[in-house]
Amino acid sequence: MSAAPAGSAEALPDDDQAAAPVGDSAARVGDSAAGPALQAVRFRVTGRVQGVYFRASARQAGEGLGLRGWVRNRGDGAVEGHLQGDPAMVAAMLDWCREGPPGAAVERLTYETVPVDTKLVGFSIRP
């Protein structure tokens, strides 16, 4: 199985929301004098993604891109997370997720747009 091509979106199995491509305006907070639009996505990666420091590396990469979000292991062996920030940085982080850290073997990346979480601070690893 290969990673999803850039710009593709697939519904996550546990979510009832319809999938939308990255960049969909429904997941953005409009431009203002305070700064550019924010974009939010929820992603899921499968393959050899647990036990290879995927979560810690994702947090470091996300922080480096100025994103807010979280990442966690799933019981089925996947890793899922929420990313939000500048649309170009969200796209860069999704590109990073296609490869992951050294030792990872990403088989598939799925993601969908979600509402921006205005209360989210920082980038965390969740249990």
pLDDT of res. 24? 38
Of 48, 72, 73, 108, which one is the catalytic site residue? Answer: 73
Q: What pTM value is reported for the model?
A: 0.74
Is 55 known to be catalytic?
yes
Here the tokens at position 127 are 């249990």
Rounded to an integer, what distance in angstroms lies between the CA atom of residue 31 and that of residue 108? 32
Q: What is the pLDDT along the chain (127 residues), one digit of tens a residue?
A: 334 444 444 444 443 333 333 333 334 455 445 556 999 999 999 999 999 999 999 999 999 999 999 999 999 999 999 999 999 999 999 999 999 999 999 999 999 999 999 999 999 999 9
Asked whether 10 and 4 are in contact (CB, 8 A), the reply is: yes
Of 28, 42, 55, 59, which one is the catalytic site residue? Answer: 55
Neighbours of 108 (CB within 10 A): 16
- In degrees and rounded to multiples of 5, residue 39 shows phi and psi of -125, 145
Match domain 25-125 to its CATH number in 3.40.50.150, 3.10.20.740, 3.40.190.10, 3.30.70.100. 3.30.70.100
Is 73 known to be catalytic?
yes
Q: Where are the domains of the chain?
A: 25-125
